[in-house]
Amino acid sequence: MYYLSIEGKQKLKGSVSISGAKNSALPILAATLLSQNPVSISNLPNVADVKTLLKLLENLGASYETTQEGIKIDSSTVNSACANYDIVRKMRASILTLGPLLARFGHCEVSLPGGCAIGQRPIDLHLKALEAMGAKIQIEQGYVIAKAPEGLKGATIIFDKVTVTGSENILMAAALAHGVTKLVNVAKEPEVVQLCEILKNAGVKIDGIGTSEITIVGSYGKLLPLQDIKVIPDRIEAGTYLCAGAITNSKITITDVIPKHLEAVALKLQQMGFGIEITDDSITILPATKILPSDIETTEYPGFPTDMQAQFMALCTQADGTSLIDERLFENRFMHVSELSRMGASVKLKGHSATVEGHRELTAADVMATDLRASSALILAALVAKGTTKIHRIYHLDRGYENLEGKFSALGAKIERLEE
């Protein structure tokens, strides 16, 4: 086991290149189950979640080789439709294999992902949509047993809630379905849009990409000719580094990004007093003369992302006043509060709202990562804290941040990965 040792009060400078998006790489890998041919994927982030899903696909019978730009994966050789518990429990996004496996094989068994630190995270909307497409779904001994022997049928699906992986699962199922599927209240996250573009590039007739209403004409079970894919940049990794510049009041640049994907985050930073300079593939953050408190409400894209809530809470501890944060998407996404409090933050929780006191002089402590984004908030706090902070259980961070200490060190942070 490793921990991160971070010496605080260091200014940052320079630029950092942003990796491919974990939350796009995962549905893309699942979508290779729909492909009749091997698929080259570049800009794939070297993070634990991607490795876990690749292992799952290999267990199902896929094979892949590492190439100069990324990987070349052949899932046409997949011969099993059972995604077992020991892998799915490591990464709930394995549920993204449910839609493609069922559409391709007419049956599948996928372990229920179980909850996680940020909430119960049900998949009822995924299952309801597949039933509307003609699937028979049973839950047995912690597994989703899904059957659609004649294949899935096109249907009209209205999602009760906006669900990112739910939208992705059903888009992939609909791509192979018999007939036309209309999805209403679909997620509009850039990762969902990239999946739609990939299906379109494979010849799938799909309308409404990027809107909350998508119509998709299925291939009647025929596998698709997926084309080469370049994973879009990770907007959450990008936002995390912008917050690192903000909390240390440094000027830094993030490169290889799509600024449009960070509009809500950049606007929030500007409202807090930071300067933002944008080019077509980079964003520079400039120090604030005074960090202003903020009112944040997390919501679906293009609104303020829940995956940036913890990072902004760390930043708000340094604001000139009290900030309010309203977490609207998950019921328990304040796991970082107790750890930030141990470093001197003062945060009052009431239901899904947090009141964050500003002007807090943070001090180093031994802290524990609990979930991916909460852990990145602890790094940000450590960068500005007095003394050397130790962050334990950093396997949470390795799930979604590529070369973390390498990137932070290159920006001037005093950060080391040490053995417990």
Task: By CB under 6 A, name the binding residues for ligand EPZ.
Answer: 23, 26, 93, 119, 121-126, 161, 163-166, 306-307, 329-330, 372-373, 400
Q: Which is nearer to ligand EPZ, 189 or 362 (CB)?
A: 189
Minimum distance from residue 249 beta carbon to ligand EPZ (Å): 26
Minimum distance from residue 92 beta carbon to ligand EPZ (Å): 7
Closest to 240 in 3D by CA, of 11, 8, 401, 390? 401
Q: Which is nearer to ligand EPZ, 5 or 353 (CB)?
A: 353
Minimum distance from residue 126 beta carbon to ligand EPZ (Å): 5
Tell me which residues are annotated as active site: 116
Minimum distance from residue 399 beta carbon to ligand EPZ (Å): 8
Q: Which is nearer to ligand EPZ, 11 or 128 (CB)?
A: 128
Q: Which is nearer to ligand EPZ, 94 or 253 (CB)?
A: 94
Minimum distance from residue 248 beta carbon to ligand EPZ (Å): 23
Minimum distance from residue 408 beta carbon to ligand EPZ (Å): 19
Q: Which is nearer to ligand EPZ, 236 or 288 (CB)?
A: 236
Q: Which is nearer to ligand EPZ, 161 or 359 (CB)?
A: 161
